[in-house]
Structure 1
Amino acid sequence: MPNTILITGAAGFLGGLLSAALIADPNTSNVRLILVDIVEPKAPTSAQAVTIEADLTVKESVDALFKTEFGVPDTIYCLHGIMSRGSEDNFDLGLKVNVDSVRLVLQAAREFGTQPSIKFILTSSLAVYGGPLPHTVTPDTIATPEGAYGMGKLTSELFINEYTRRGFIDGRIMRLPTIVVRSGAPAAATSAFISGVIREPLKGIECLCPIGNSMDSPELDLPLWVASPQTTIKNLVIAKHVHASKLFRHTRVICLPGFTATVREELQALEKIGGKAALDLVQFKDDSISRRLVSSWPSRFDNAYPLSLGFLVDEGGMEPIVRRFQKDIEAGIA
Structure 2
Amino acid sequence: MVNTVLITGAAGWLGGLLATALHNDPLTPDVHLILADIVEPKAPAGSKAVLIKADLSDKAQVDALFTTKFGVPDTIYCLHGIMSRGSEDNFELGVKINIDSVRSLLESTRALAKPSIKFIFTSSLAVYGGPLPPVVTPSTIATPEGAYGMGKLTSELMVNEYTRRGWIDGRIIRLPTIVVRPGVPSNATSAFISGIIREPLKGLEALCPIGDSYESPELSLPSWLASPETTIKNFVIAKHVPAEKFLKHTRVVCLPGFTATVRDELEALLKVAGPEVLKLVKFKDDPINRRIVSSWPPAFDNTYPLSLGFVVDEGGMEPIVRQFQKDVAAGIA
TM-score by length of 1: 0.99
d(CA) in 2 for partners of 1:114, 1:254: 24
* Residue number in structure 1 paired with 2:98: 98
d(CA) in 2 for partners of 1:330, 1:295: 33
* Residue number in structure 1 paired with 2:288: 289
Deviation at 1:279, TM superposition (A): 0.5
| Residues 1:32 and 2:32 aligned together | yes
- Listed one character per residue, the Cα deviations across residues 163-188 of structure 1 (whole Å, up to 9, x for unaligned) are 00001100000000000000011110
Deviation at 1:274, TM superposition (A): 1.3
d(CA) in 2 for partners of 1:33, 1:88: 32
Task: Give the letter for the 2:248 counterpart.
Answer: R
* Residue number in structure 2 paired with 1:186: 185
Deviation at 1:20, TM superposition (A): 0.4
* Residue number in structure 2 paired with 1:172: 171
- Runs of at least 5 residues in structure 2 that lack an aligned partner in the other structure: none
- Write the mapping of 1:208-287 to structure 2, written as runs, cut at 5 A: 208-287=207-286
Task: Give the letter for the 2:239 counterpart.
Answer: K
* Residue number in structure 1 paired with 2:4: 4
d(CA) in 1 for partners of 2:38, 2:183: 17
Deviation at 1:213, TM superposition (A): 0.4
- Listed one character per residue, the Cα deviations across residues 81-100 of structure 1 (whole Å, up to 9, x for unaligned) are 00000000000000000000
Give the secondary structure class of the aligned counterpart of 1:122. Answer: strand
d(CA) in 2 for partners of 1:183, 1:287: 23
Deviation at 1:70, TM superposition (A): 0.2
Give the secondary structure class of the aligned counterpart of 2:150. Answer: helix
* Residue number in structure 2 paired with 1:204: 203
Give the secondary structure class of the aligned counterpart of 1:109. Answer: helix
Give the secondary structure class of the aligned counterpart of 1:70. Answer: coil
d(CA) in 1 for partners of 2:51, 2:182: 22
Q: How many residues align?
A: 333
d(CA) in 1 for partners of 2:87, 2:20: 29
| Residues 1:43 and 2:29 aligned together | no
Task: Give the letter for the 2:4 counterpart.
Answer: T
Give the secondary structure class of the aligned counterpart of 2:274. Answer: helix
Task: Give the letter for the 1:232 counterpart.
Answer: T
Deviation at 1:22, TM superposition (A): 0.4
d(CA) in 1 for partners of 2:20, 2:321: 22
Task: Give the letter for the 1:60 counterpart.
Answer: A
- Runs of at least 5 residues in structure 1 that lack an aligned partner in the other structure: none
| Residues 1:126 and 2:125 aligned together | yes
Structure 1 segments, 4+ long, off by >3 Å, are: none
d(CA) in 2 for partners of 1:196, 1:274: 15
Deviation at 1:277, TM superposition (A): 1.3
- Listed one character per residue, the Cα deviations across residues 224-245 of structure 1 (whole Å, up to 9, x for unaligned) are 1000000000000000000000
Give the secondary structure class of the aligned counterpart of 1:271. Answer: helix
- Listed one character per residue, the Cα deviations across residues 202-252 of structure 1 (whole Å, up to 9, x for unaligned) are 000001000000000000000110000000000000000000000011100
- Listed one character per residue, the Cα deviations across residues 72-119 of structure 1 (whole Å, up to 9, x for unaligned) are 00000000000000000000000000000000000000001124x110
* Residue number in structure 1 paired with 2:321: 322
Deviation at 1:276, TM superposition (A): 0.9
Deviation at 1:49, TM superposition (A): 0.1
Task: Give the letter for the 1:111 counterpart.
Answer: A
- Listed one character per residue, the Cα deviations across residues 257-291 of structure 1 (whole Å, up to 9, x for unaligned) are 00000000000111111111111000000000000
* Residue number in structure 2 paired with 1:113: 113
Give the secondary structure class of the aligned counterpart of 2:60. Answer: helix
d(CA) in 2 for partners of 1:165, 1:262: 38
* Residue number in structure 2 paired with 1:140: 139
Task: Give the letter for the 2:313 counterpart.
Answer: D
Give the secondary structure class of the aligned counterpart of 1:107. Answer: helix
| Residues 1:84 and 2:67 aligned together | no
Deviation at 1:140, TM superposition (A): 0.2
d(CA) in 2 for partners of 1:125, 1:201: 27
TM-score by length of 2: 1.00
- Write the mapping of 1:60-79 to structure 2, written as runs, cut at 5 A: 60-79=60-79
Identity rate, percent: 74
Give the secondary structure class of the aligned counterpart of 1:57. Answer: coil
Give the secondary structure class of the aligned counterpart of 2:105. Answer: helix
Task: Give the letter for the 1:153 counterpart.
Answer: K
Give the secondary structure class of the aligned counterpart of 1:298. Answer: coil
d(CA) in 1 for partners of 2:276, 2:102: 44
